Structure 1
Amino acid sequence: MKAKSITLGLLFSVLLLSHATLVCGTTAVANPLFQQLQLLQQDERMRSASMGFVAIDINTGDTLASINPHEALVPASILKIVTTATAFELLGADYRFRTVLGTNGMVDPYGTLHGDLIVKGSGDPTFGATRFPQSSALDSIFNYWYALLKTAGIERVAGRVFVDESVFDTQLIPRAWLWENMGNHFGAGTSGMSAINNAVTIIFQPGQSVDQPAVVLRTEPQVPGMILRNYVTTGERNSGDQVWIFGAPYQQERMLHGTVPFGALEFPVRGSLPDPPLFVAESFSRFLNDRTIYTALSPTTHRIANLMELQIPTLTHTFGQYSSPPLNYIVSQINLFSENSASEALVKTLGLQTTTPATFSAGLAVIRNFWQNAGISTNGMFLFDGSGLAPSNRITAGQMTAILRHIVSRPYFQQFQESLPLAGRSGTMQNVLRNTASEGVLRAKTGTLSNVRAFAGYTTTLSGRRVAFAFMVNHFHGTGTELRNEMVKVLDAITRYNQ
C-alpha cells in the first residue's frame, strides 16, 4: 500500500498510514473529519484502493484536509461538474438550442410543396425528452410544426422529411465508452438531432416462475426497423433491473441479456435508440401522413444521404423553430439526475467554438484549455467524455476543488450550486445522509462506476465555514454500497467540522 499523507489545515497534523507515524494535536484527534479519514484509511478493504480527498475553505483557500490531492483518479460522474461549469462559462446560462423546420422548395397554388421538409438539428438534448419536465413531448412539437405547415397551405410534400444532423459529426458516443454501456440508456450518446433522451423503453413480461424466459411485449415508442434478440429470463422477486442491452450506434439489432424481477405484470427497461436522427425523420413523416400531409419519398437523414450519395438539400425557407429550455435548466437536470447524453451534447456544443461539424475531441480540448487558461493546472487531467462514463477519464481531487472554488466567484454560481443534489432531499443524493448534520446542507454531485465511487460539491460546517470538497475512491475491496456508506461518513464529518 502506498504511503499517503493527510494534511489538516490550521490544526498542524499529518497522518501517514503506511510505514508512518501519526502526528497531531489533541484538537485534530478530536475532530470528526480527521477521525473518519483515519478510520477509512485503516480499513483493510482500502489496501487495494486509491483515494483522493480535498476539502478547502472557499473564502480563505485554507485546506481542511487532503489525501493525495494530485493523484489522477477515475472520477465517474463528478466529471459533469467540469463539463457543466465550462458550458456556463462559454455558452451562458440563457443559451438555448434551436431546431429549425424549413424547406428547400416552394408551395404551389394546389398545396403541394415541391421540395423536402427539412428538420435542421442543433444538438438539443431536450428535444421531445419528457425526462426534462420543462421540455415539450415529441408529439407536442410535431403538432406545433403541423400547424405551421397547414398555415403555409401545405397539403402534400413532393419530396421527403429530411433530418439534417450535420451540426455534429456522426460519432454518437465517445470512443472510450465500453461495449457493455452503449446499448443501454445511460450509453445513448448524442447527435446533432437527438430526441426523447435518445432512449427507448422495452416492456417485458416476466415468466411465471424464476428462471423462465421473460417476454418482450412492446417498445415505447415504436422504433421502425429495430430488432430485439431476447435472452432475458426471470429473476428473484424484487431483484430489480438486471438487464444489459448490447448494440452499437446505428446498429438496429439489439441483444437483450440478464433478468427482470418475478412478480411484476410488466417491467420497463430503457435502452439506447440505434439512430436518433432517423427516428425523428421516420416519426415526423409518419405523424404527417397520419394527418393527411402525405410525403412522396421515404424519410432520411444527412448521414444516410451521404452514404447513398444523394443530393443534400439546402434550407432556403424557414417555417418556424423549436427552442429548448435555457442552459441553466438543462444543467440542473444533468447534475441532479446524472444525464449522460445531455452532458455529451454540451461537449460537442462547446466544440462548435473551434470546428464544424463538432466533434468530441474538439469539445474536450475546449474544456481542458478553458481551465488551463483560468489558472488551474491540467496535469493529470485526461478527458475522454463529458459525462464521466468512460473509465479512461482521470482528474485529481485538487483540480476538482480548485474548479469548485473558481465557480464560487462567477455570476452563475447560485444556479450551479442549486443544480447539485441536496443531501437527503433531491436527485442522486435524495436517500443519502438523511437524519444527519448534512441533510439539507451539503450539496454534491455523485459518481458511480464499477469499482469507483466519488462525491464533489459544497457544504457549510457547524463553525460556519463554507467548504468545497472532492472525494474519489477507486478499487475498494468491497461492494459499492459498503464503500458509499464509509464515504458518506467522511462527508458528514466535513459538515460537522468545528474548527
Structure 2
Amino acid sequence: MPVPSSVRRIALLLSAAALTAPAAVAQTASAAPLDRAVTRELSRAGGVNGGYVLDTTTGRVLASVRADTPRIPASVEKLYTTSTALLRFGADGTLDTSVLGSGRLLDNGTWRGDLWLRGTGDPTFGSQSFINRSYGVGTSVEELAQAIADAGITRVTGRVYGDESRFDLRRGGPSTSWRYDVWIGGALSALLYNRGLAKEDGSARQTAPALFAAQQLTAALKRAGVRVGKAASSGPAPESAEQLAAISSPPMSTLARLTNVDSDNLYAEQLLKTVGAHHGRAGSTAAGAAVVRQTMRRFKASPRIADGSGLSRVNATTPRQVVLMLDGMRDEPGFRASLPVAGRTGTLAKRMRGTSAQDRCQAKTGTLSNVSALAGYCRTANNHVVAFAFLANSVYTVSAKAAEDRLAIMLARQRPAGAARADAKAKAQKNRSGGAATGAAAHARRVGAVRVAR
C-alpha cells in the first residue's frame, strides 16, 4: 500500500545497509543453476533488488543474486512476526480475554463490587455480528456476558472497567512516531474491540479503546439479564481481583493465517506486542521486536526489526535471511498454511491465475511506495519444495510484481535434481508415523469456567 516516503532516505538506507554485507558474498557469477534466469527477471523489474532460491528438499541453492544485501521488505516482514508467534505460542496456543471481579456474590445474585474486562492482545475480540461479518471466527463479548449470567450473577453494584495494561499505550508504530496510523487501521491495544472501530460500518473510530470495550461489555451484560449499577470506566485490575470468566482466541495458526493471507497490518502489530508481553520484557513494539530478533537467531538470520507489519522503512533484511527462516519453518504447524495461495486466496488471489504457479506456490507479498517483495514456497513439477525471496527497492511496483510472478511460475515449472536431504527424510517419516504436531487441527474455542466468591 502506498506510504509517502523520501527517495533520498531510501538511498541512504540502502547504501548504509550495503556496507554491512559480507565482502565474501558480494554477488558475482556463481554456480547456482538459476542465477542467470533470476538475474534477467530482476533486471526487468528495475531498481535495486536481490533474490535467493533454495531447494528445501535437497538443500541445494538454486539461485543467489545479491542475496546478502539488505532491502526494505515491506509486508514480507509479517513472516518474521507470524513465525515468531507460532514458535513462541505453538500453533494451538491461544490468547485469553477475561473478566475479573473484586467483591463477592450474594445469595440473591448480586455481585457486590466491580468487574474488570482484561485483554491480552487478542485481535479478534468484539461483537458477534462484527466477527461474523469480518472473520467468521473470533471471541465475542456476548459469550463473556453470558458466562457471567450463567454463574447466577443478575446484578453488579459497581461498574465494569476496561483493563488494557498488558500493552503500553502507544497506539501506532514507528512510522507515525507511535501515534495512530491510518495504514494500521486501528488503535493498538491489549483490549482491542472490533478493530478499534466505534461503529461497525467503519465510519468512526475509538479514541479510548479500554473504556469503549468496557462499555460494550456493560451493554452485553444488560442484554444477558445482568444489571450494572454504574457507568463503565477504565483502569488496571487490582492484584486481589479473581478471574470469573475467560474466553480463548482462535489458535495461533488461525491468527497467523488472518495476518498473512490478507496482509493485515493491525493483526501483525497486535501480534508483535503480544509476543513482547508474553515472551519479552513488555507489551511494546520494541520488546516484541527484540523477541523476534532473538527467535530468528535459531535460523542464523539477523533481520533489522522495527515493527511487525512492515510499514516502517527502517526494517531491513536480505533475501538469504528470509529464505533461511522459510527453510526452518517449512514443516512448522500452521506456518505454510498461513500464506496466500497463488491464484486463489488473499493478496495472491488475482495473481498467477491459470499458470503453473496457481495452487503450487504460497507466498507473502510486500508493497510500499517504490518497494515490492514476494517470499514463500513453490512446489516444483517433480514435487520438491522450493523456498524463495525476491526483494526490490526503488522500483515501479507494477513492473516488479510482474517480474515476481514470472519468477514464481518459473520455479513451479522446475524439476530440480538431487535426493532428499537427511532432515527432510526424517521429517517425512515422522509425518507418516503420526508423530508430527497437529497445529492445523480443528479448534474448539473455550469459555472458561466461572468461579465466584460467596
Please classify the TM superposition score into its range, dividing by the shorter chain length.
0.7 to 0.9
1:344-359 paired onto structure 2 within 5 Å:
344-353=269-278, 355=280, 357-359=282-284
- Note the C-alpha offset of 1:174: 2.2
- Determine the C-alpha separation between the residues in 2 that align with 1:154 and 1:112: 6
Partner of 2:147: 148
Partner of 2:359: 440
- Determine the C-alpha separation between the residues in 1 that align with 2:167 and 2:178: 22
- Determine the C-alpha separation between the residues in 1 that align with 2:343 and 2:79: 20
Partner of residue 134 from structure 1, selected from 122, 133, 137: 137
Secondary structure of the corresponding residue to residue 162 of structure 1: strand
Q: Confirm or deny: 8 A CA contact 2:145 2:217 kept in the other structure.
A: no
Partner of residue 344 from structure 2, selected from 425, 428, 439: 425
1:16-415 paired onto structure 2 within 5 Å:
34-35=36-37, 37-41=39-43, 43=44, 46=46, 49-128=47-126, 129-130=131-132, 131-136=134-139, 138=140, 141-142=141-142, 144-177=143-176, 182-184=181-183, 186-199=184-197, 219-220=199-200, 273-289=206-222, 293-302=226-235, 313-314=238-239, 316-353=241-278, 355=280, 357-372=282-297, 374-378=298-302, 381-408=303-330, 410-412=331-333, 415=334
Go from structure 1 to structure 2 and tell me whether the alpha carbon gap of 1:87 and 1:404 turns closer, same or farther (over 3 Å shift).
Answer: same
TM-score, normalization: structure 1? 0.71
Q: Confirm or deny: 8 A CA contact 1:76 1:448 kept in the other structure.
A: yes
Q: Confirm or deny: 8 A CA contact 2:75 2:367 kept in the other structure.
A: yes
TM-score, normalization: structure 2? 0.77
Go from structure 1 to structure 2 and tell me whether the alpha carbon gap of 1:486 and 1:103 turns closer, same or farther (over 3 Å shift).
Answer: same
Secondary structure of the corresponding residue to residue 166 of structure 1: coil
- Note the C-alpha offset of 1:452: 1.1
Q: Confirm or deny: 8 A CA contact 1:176 1:384 kept in the other structure.
A: no
- Determine the C-alpha separation between the residues in 2 that align with 1:196 and 1:6: 51
Q: Tell me the percent identity.
A: 30
Partner of 1:16: none
- Note the C-alpha offset of 1:189: 4.9
Q: Confirm or deny: 8 A CA contact 1:166 1:357 kept in the other structure.
A: no
- Note the C-alpha offset of 1:181: 7.3
Flag the structure with higher helix content.
Answer: 2
Partner of 1:485: 402
Go from structure 1 to structure 2 and tell me whether the alpha carbon gap of 1:387 and 1:272 turns closer, same or farther (over 3 Å shift).
Answer: farther
- Note the C-alpha offset of 1:473: 0.9
Go from structure 1 to structure 2 and tell me whether the alpha carbon gap of 1:271 and 1:365 turns closer, same or farther (over 3 Å shift).
Answer: farther
- Determine the C-alpha separation between the residues in 2 that align with 1:9 and 1:61: 15
**Letter of the 2:175 counterpart:** A
- Determine the C-alpha separation between the residues in 1 that align with 2:386 and 2:204: 38
- Determine the C-alpha separation between the residues in 2 that align with 1:145 and 1:459: 42
Superposition CA RMSD, Å: 2.8
- Determine the C-alpha separation between the residues in 2 that align with 1:465 and 1:9: 20
Q: Confirm or deny: 8 A CA contact 1:53 1:69 kept in the other structure.
A: yes
- Determine the C-alpha separation between the residues in 1 that align with 2:155 and 2:336: 50
- Determine the C-alpha separation between the residues in 1 that align with 2:65 and 2:187: 34
- Determine the C-alpha separation between the residues in 2 that align with 1:436 and 1:427: 17
Go from structure 1 to structure 2 and tell me whether the alpha carbon gap of 1:121 and 1:179 turns closer, same or farther (over 3 Å shift).
Answer: closer
1:432-471 paired onto structure 2 within 5 Å:
432-471=351-390
Go from structure 1 to structure 2 and tell me whether the alpha carbon gap of 1:322 and 1:75 turns closer, same or farther (over 3 Å shift).
Answer: same
Q: Confirm or deny: 8 A CA contact 1:453 1:473 kept in the other structure.
A: yes
**Letter of the 2:191 counterpart:** M
- Note the C-alpha offset of 1:457: 0.4
- Note the C-alpha offset of 1:280: 0.6
Deviations 1:253-308 (A, max 9, x none): xxxxxxxxxxxxxxxx67754332222112222333466643333212227xxxxx
Go from structure 1 to structure 2 and tell me whether the alpha carbon gap of 1:126 and 1:7 turns closer, same or farther (over 3 Å shift).
Answer: farther
Q: Confirm or deny: 8 A CA contact 1:73 1:395 kept in the other structure.
A: yes
**Letter of the 1:422 counterpart:** V
**Letter of the 1:494 counterpart:** L
- Note the C-alpha offset of 1:100: 1.1
- Note the C-alpha offset of 1:96: 0.8
Go from structure 1 to structure 2 and tell me whether the alpha carbon gap of 1:180 and 1:145 turns closer, same or farther (over 3 Å shift).
Answer: closer
**Letter of the 1:64 counterpart:** L
Go from structure 1 to structure 2 and tell me whether the alpha carbon gap of 1:104 and 1:278 turns closer, same or farther (over 3 Å shift).
Answer: same
- Determine the C-alpha separation between the residues in 1 that align with 2:411 and 2:174: 37
Larger Rg: 1
Go from structure 1 to structure 2 and tell me whether the alpha carbon gap of 1:329 and 1:291 turns closer, same or farther (over 3 Å shift).
Answer: closer
Deviations 1:201-255 (A, max 9, x none): xxxxxxxxxxxxxxxxxx426xxxxxxxxxxxxxxxxxxxxxxxxxxxxxxxxxx
Secondary structure of the corresponding residue to residue 175 of structure 2: coil
Go from structure 1 to structure 2 and tell me whether the alpha carbon gap of 1:353 and 1:148 turns closer, same or farther (over 3 Å shift).
Answer: closer
Unaligned 5+ segments in structure 1 are 12-27, 201-218, 222-268, 304-311
**Letter of the 1:76 counterpart:** A
- Note the C-alpha offset of 1:314: 4.2
- Determine the C-alpha separation between the residues in 2 that align with 1:145 and 1:81: 32
**Letter of the 1:444 counterpart:** A
**Letter of the 2:317 counterpart:** I
Secondary structure of the corresponding residue to residue 125 of structure 2: coil
